[in-house]
Every structure is written in structure tokens, then in C-alpha cells.
Homo-oligomer: A and B are copies of this chain.
């Protein structure tokens, strides 16, 4: 019961962000027929240290057996429960450009607790066309979706200059979780959670490291004073 409390309150954000990775690793192990795993092995599969893994899992409860390790299926279930994946979350994708269509067609949603209930677009000429088995709906359908389909998560796949407007409409309709693919910062109320995915940002971070590497070569020439 104390574990149940920990599962709801005070799991560090850094731990939460790693739980999906552990779940991926566990699923992969299960597919290979592995039923038991030690923290050392699972940590290696997830690319983290074993101490970190054990500390993360300890926030969920005590689901391992000392001297043995973790049962793969059991641990996957417990992580799924902690993440709230025992229920299906209705998701809507807004913006049917290249990226939006790719996301709509992506099969990874359905496999783990997410259900694309609708795809929308602002453009009247696109509304009505079919993308990945979904008829594209107009933005005005948002309220209906929240009310009737219990829409909980909105995915923004529009250009940057439309993103804030879409976010405002999502918030107004009652959506409090947003995944933003547009390369811009969204301004939303405090109780709305936004996660940003931006490949330009990631590439720029890679460029930084790439540049730093090439800079290291002539570092010895310059910093003699250090």
C-alpha cells in the first residue's frame, strides 16, 4: 500500500522519463523468450547504470527478488500500470502535412495503449480526405471529440506559426496533455503538460558535439596557459 502511494506521488521526473525505455527493453526481452532478468542485464539493455535502474524501480515498489532478479512479464506490467498504460488513451493528431500523415500511419501508437481517434486539419480543402483510415475532420470538431471520445492527448503536427493557435484550441476544448512537433515554444496554462519533439533541436545538439570534437584537435596548441 505504501508502494501504491509512491506510485502516485513523488516519482522523480527523471525516473518517469526512463520508465518507457525500461518497458521497451522488457518487451524486447519477452519477445526473445527471456522470462527473468537481473538489474545488471536490464540496465545494459536500457543503456543505464544498474544502480540507477534499481533506484528508479524502487519508486514503483518492490517487485524484484533478491538473489534472483526480476520476472520480465511482472515488471513490464508494473511499469505499464505506473505509467497509466492499462487503459487506452484517446489521441488526436492535428495537422495533415507530411509529418502528420506519417504519424497517422505510424503503427507504434496502437501497440502500446494509444488510440488515434481522429485526425484534424485547419485547411478546408483537406478536410474530408482520408488519411490512414481516418477521414480528416475540421478543427471545430475538437469539443465534440473531448466530450464524446474522451480525447485526452493532442498531437500538434502543424507548421510553427499555427502551433500556438492549435494549442489554444486544444486547451479551450479541455485537453491537458500536448505533444508538440512544431519547432516553437507553446504558451499554455500551468495545469497543461507539453512535451516537445523537434528534430532541428536534436540535430543542433549533435552539431555542437561534432564541432567540439573537431575543435579538440588544436586545443593543445592554444591553451598552453591552462
Interfacial chain B residues near A186, Cβ < 8 Å: 47
Interfacial chain B residues near A211, Cβ < 8 Å: 83-84, 87
Dominant SS at the A interface?
A: helix
Identify which of residues 95-114 in chain A touch chain B, using a CB-to-CB cut-off of 8 Å: 98-99, 101-103, 105-106, 108-109, 112-114
Contacting pair B202 A85 (CB below 8 A): no
- Residue among B98, B202, B226 making CB contact with A195, cutoff 8 Å: B202
Identify which of residues 133-176 in chain A touch chain B, using a CB-to-CB cut-off of 8 Å: 152-153, 155, 176
A16 contacts the other chain (Cβ, under 8 Å)?
yes
Q: How many copies does the complex hold?
A: 2
Contacting pair B112 A200 (CB below 8 A): yes
Contacting pair B213 A176 (CB below 8 A): yes
A62 contacts the other chain (Cβ, under 8 Å)?
no
Interfacial chain B residues near A223, Cβ < 8 Å: 5
A30 contacts the other chain (Cβ, under 8 Å)?
no
Interface residues on A, range: 35 or more
Contacting pair B98 A183 (CB below 8 A): no
Q: Which 5 A-B pairs have the closest CB atoms?
A: A84-B211, A102-B102, A20-B201, A177-B206, A98-B102
Binding site for B on A (CB under 8 A): 5, 8, 16-17, 19-21, 23-25, 28, 45-47, 82-85, 87, 89, 91, 98-99, 101-103, 105-106, 108-109, 112-114, 152-153, 155, 176-179, 183-187, 191, 193, 195, 197-213, 215-216, 219, 222-223, 226
What are 28 A-B residue pairs whose CB atoms fall within 8 Å in the complex? A5-B223, A16-B208, A19-B208, A20-B204, A20-B205, A21-B185, A21-B201, A23-B204, A24-B183, A24-B184, A24-B201, A47-B185, A47-B186, A82-B208, A83-B207, A83-B208, A84-B207, A84-B211, A87-B211, A89-B210, A101-B102, A106-B199, A153-B206, A177-B209, A177-B210, A195-B202, A197-B199, A197-B202
